[in-house]
Structure 1
Amino acid sequence: MSVLRRARLLGPAAVVALLAACAGNAPQDTLEPEGKYAKDIDNLISPIFVISGIVFVLVLGGAVLIAIKYRARDDEHFDDMPHQVHGNNTLEIGWTILPALILGVVGVLSVAAIFNLYEEPPADAVKVQVVGQQWWWEYRYDLDGDGSYEEIVTANELVIPSGEQVGLEITSRDVIHSFWAPKLNGKRDAVPNRSHPWNLQADQPGEYIGQCTEFCGLSHAEMRIKVVALERDDFDQWVTDQQVEAETYAEDDTSEEAEGYRVFTQQLCASCHLVAGVNDDEFSDESIPEFHRDSIGGPGTITDPELQASRHAPNLTHFMSRSTFAGAKFDLRRDTEECEALGVRWAEDEDDLERCLDRGALEAWMRNPPAEKAMAAEVVPGRSPRRGMPNLELTEEQIDQLVAYLSTLK
């Protein structure tokens, strides 16, 4: 088959591949930066793409030109050697110096961008410890600057003030993960027993979607990230709300919420999930064996390692202040324009909660979590211990009661 014939066949295939890569709505589009650090990366990538494109065209174009122009025309000339340029000092010096200059320019631009990405956050910047585990993200806030990261502990959604630099400390409780919110910054690995500094900044309020980008087990593809950027006043109100403890219910209270509270505290729910003001004692430092305490342990650590291999589960104190659950895979809010417009504090109003809560998704999760998300939820002899929420075999009545109770955790 001739070179020209191959080119005619590959052309349409290349067009199809290019069209397949296009998307009208791509929330993880790296080419649409919406924060300072993502723009620094974009400003680095753009000129390098141009340089790489020029080099690609020249090299490949030259190779194709030579292959066509100097190809053997017939069998008589098939073994003829083309004219050799070995020893041509001008050419050899040229194609040595030119690539070195190109790499030098790219290197200078890259080093400058790296210094920008790793700049020290201001002393008064919001600081968050990002903890990856199979298969969800935990966010622990240090509000007083003492490095404890215990003032606010939440999961699945990282809430930050818009227009401000946010300092992250990224780590892991089990295997290596990778934190990536592409519109706000590049990737940063989460490695057990190590803490990696990183920065985020969102120019405008909004929700920015991300993904774990290091294969970490069964539910790697379902370990999602949502960064919620709020105006400073709204963020301050969120911080205040997040530090309010949940209410408890008297034994003679027979409301559906109270029954759900009792289901939560009497089932395995309260053995894994902390609700501040409800089961704090079970997660206190005193209740945790010393060998279970580590730099990212403390309040919220499960005392029984057989319940969860990582000894942690999402803090549910303000469950309804989020819009996602189960590693941000499922939406708590209905997918309507009206409900999405309510923002991070959507569950404050009872009418909004009744209208926008996606009860079906939440009930399906509690009915059989392993069926909804791939995870080793049962202990298998000779293999790794339980990871993820097990099937608690809840009755439909208990599920309704639990939904009613969780709806109060705002």
Structure 2
Amino acid sequence: MRTPSSLSFLKKTVAASRAACVLAAVFLLAGCSQLNFWQMDGHQTSMVTAGPVAESQLQVFYATVWVTAIIFVVVAAVLTYATIKFKARTTDDENAPPPEQSHGNPLIELSLIGVSVLALVFIAFPTLRAIWFTYDVPEEERENAYVIDAIGYQWWFKFDYPMEQIDGVGALSVANEMVIPAGRPVRVNLRTVDVIHSFWVPKLAGKVDMTPNRGNHMWLQADEPGYFWGQCAEYCGDSHAVMRFRVIALNEADFAEWVAHKKLPARTVTPEIADPARAERPQITFASFKRNEYGFSDKWDPRSQVSPLDNWRQQQFPHEGEDAALIAQGRKLFQTKTCIACHTVRGHEGMGITGPELTHIASQTTIAAGLLENTPEQMARWIMHPEVVKPGNKMYTTGYVPSEITIDQDEALALVAYLQSLK
């Protein structure tokens, strides 16, 4: 039996809880408006789909939401009804006998079991259908499927194109920006060289793990040309949160042109190519950046007139007014600073395999595994302070530290000029 004092305390506690819930709801709604929650159209949203795999998974989500929403409404309505009808309105009601109980009523209990089973079936049917559909490229499309091998490293992604062979080299290979043909299914073979990673392009397909010593695969398709954000979705070490990548979908003609260009050796800038009268050095501000300070490639607002795909297209063309002498100095530094031990620049120097291939690095929109914009300033920041940008990265821990590599501003300027010439 509750005493009047305990009943008063309970009422105050309930009132305080209600006030806290209302206040929390206000802050939540305010935060949602700032985070663009209601539009749910951010770069890595799964609520806006651009391919059949993501669309199938979104439909499973909607089916689950509707079922659980109906259950919530029914349970909340019954609870509200019972609370209002049977609540103690006076002190005498506290001592009244409880109302008649329905426990043990076969009709009610069988009905609840039947409704629960029906709800599970309603969720299971689209779920199983989506599992079979998303597991691999549909049989009728397999002959037309394009194949890419995605390999996870701490903390970047390598993409090999086994269908695009380069004489004497092997398969075409790029890092962190996977270019695919639009309107065509792409089978992605998932591998890892170290720990478990997870491959995730929210607008194209859900998360699939890359597991050591075990082959895995997935498929995706972009219905139209576009630029999509990807992310490692499995904690894999210090810089897991900044292990990003991009997927660029091109129409058939543009994709064929991109492949043909990527197969070419690295571009070489000579005094005959560059115009000495118009030569200019990269515009770099050697600022002091904070750890993980903004440098992410997230500046494109989906509602703006700026297209990240158009920006990627512009990135494919060489800059005018290159300083051939500075580029040559940077190429020499690329050798003496032992960058060639980890990186490959086809047609120039280097046969390294532990780091990304840099043959056409300047044609990408991002560097540092999708973390920084591919601009001279951000590239200089990455070269001079890799550990500050991405803690624990192998370039610093297995390259800079044991070899006692240091790079000053003049050396960084030359290295950036060289790397930015590799279109």
TM-score strictly above 0.5: yes
Structure 2 residue aligned with 1:303: none
Instruction: Quote the offset at 1:324 in angstroms.
Output: 0.3
**Which aligned pairs between 1:336-347 and structure 2 lie closer than 5 A?**
none
Q: Distance in 1 between matches of 2:399 and 2:179?
A: 24
Q: Distance in 2 between matches of 1:89 and 1:170?
A: 52
Unpaired runs of 5+ in structure 2? 1-9, 271-322
Q: Distance in 2 between matches of 1:247 and 1:228?
A: 22
Partner deviation per Cα, 1:31-79 (whole Å, 9 max, x = no partner): 1111111111112222221111111111133223323432333454436
Q: Once superposed, what is the RMSD of the aligned Cα atoms?
A: 2.6
- Identity across matched positions, percent: 32
TM-score normalised to structure 1 length:
0.78
Return closer, same or farther for 1:182/1:387 CA change in 2, 3 Å cut-off: farther
Structure 1 residue aligned with 2:420: 407
Structure 2 residue aligned with 1:313: 355
Q: Distance in 2 between matches of 1:46 and 1:254?
A: 57
Structure 1 residue aligned with 2:171: 151
Instruction: Quote the offset at 1:15 in angstroms.
Output: 4.1
Q: Distance in 2 between matches of 1:179 and 1:321?
A: 23
Structure 1 residue aligned with 2:160: 140
Partners of 1:159 and 1:227 within 8 A in 2: yes
Structure 1 residue 14 corresponds to structure 2 residue 25: yes
Structure 2 residue aligned with 1:27: 43
Q: Distance in 1 between matches of 2:48 and 2:399?
A: 34
Partners of 1:377 and 1:388 within 8 A in 2: yes
Q: Distance in 1 between matches of 2:399 and 2:62?
A: 41
Aligned counterpart for 2:330 among listed residues 236, 260, 266: 260
Partners of 2:144 and 2:185 within 8 A in 1: no
Instruction: Quote the offset at 1:249 in angstroms.
Output: 8.4
Q: Distance in 1 between matches of 2:395 and 2:86?
A: 66
Partners of 2:154 and 2:393 within 8 A in 1: no
Structure 1 residue 72 corresponds to structure 2 residue 88: yes
Return closer, same or farther for 1:225/1:19 CA change in 2, 3 Å cut-off: farther
Partners of 1:376 and 1:388 within 8 A in 2: no
| Displacement over 6 Å in runs of 4+ | none
Structure 1 residue 47 corresponds to structure 2 residue 71: no
Return closer, same or farther for 1:209/1:249 CA change in 2, 3 Å cut-off: closer
Q: Distance in 2 between matches of 1:150 and 1:102?
A: 52
Structure 1 residue aligned with 2:201: 181
Structure 2 residue aligned with 1:375: 392
Structure 1 residue 209 corresponds to structure 2 residue 229: yes
The structure with the largest alpha-carbon Rg is 2
Aligned counterpart for 2:246 among listed residues 223, 226, 231: 226
Partners of 1:132 and 1:172 within 8 A in 2: yes
Structure 1 residue 270 corresponds to structure 2 residue 340: yes
Q: Distance in 2 between matches of 1:221 and 1:388?
A: 22
Return closer, same or farther for 1:64/1:323 CA change in 2, 3 Å cut-off: same
Aligned counterpart for 2:409 among listed residues 396, 399, 406: 396
**Which aligned pairs between 1:282-361 and structure 2 lie closer than 5 A?**
282-283=351-352, 300=353, 312-332=354-374, 358-361=375-378
Q: In structure 1, the residue corresponding to 2:205 is in which secondary structure? A: coil
Structure 1 residue aligned with 2:300: none
Q: Name the amino acid aligned to 1:271.
A: A
Q: In structure 2, the residue corresponding to 1:97 is in which secondary structure? A: helix
Q: Distance in 1 between matches of 2:246 and 2:198?
A: 14
**Which aligned pairs between 1:73-92 and structure 2 lie closer than 5 A?**
73-78=89-94, 80-92=97-109
Instruction: Quote the offset at 1:258 in angstroms.
Output: 1.5
Partners of 2:150 and 2:160 within 8 A in 1: yes
Structure 2 residue aligned with 1:365: 382
Return closer, same or farther for 1:60/1:268 CA change in 2, 3 Å cut-off: farther
Return closer, same or farther for 1:225/1:45 CA change in 2, 3 Å cut-off: same
Q: Distance in 1 between matches of 2:395 and 2:251?
A: 43
Return closer, same or farther for 1:254/1:31 CA change in 2, 3 Å cut-off: closer
Aligned counterpart for 1:63 among listed residues 51, 72, 79: 79
TM-score normalised to structure 2 length:
0.75
Structure 2 residue aligned with 1:38: 54
Return closer, same or farther for 1:249/1:377 CA change in 2, 3 Å cut-off: same
Q: Name the amino acid aligned to 1:392.
A: I
Partners of 2:400 and 2:406 within 8 A in 1: no
Partner deviation per Cα, 1:260-308 (whole Å, 9 max, x = no partner): 111112212111111122335x45xxxxxxxxxxxxxxxx2xxxxxxxx
Q: Name the amino acid aligned to 2:376.
A: R
Q: Distance in 2 between matches of 1:371 and 1:44?
A: 41
Partner deviation per Cα, 1:94-139 (whole Å, 9 max, x = no partner): 0001110110121111111111112335223221111112111111
Partners of 1:151 and 1:243 within 8 A in 2: no
Partner deviation per Cα, 1:198-221 (whole Å, 9 max, x = no partner): 111111212111221111111111
Structure 2 residue aligned with 1:279: 349
Return closer, same or farther for 1:36/1:254 CA change in 2, 3 Å cut-off: closer
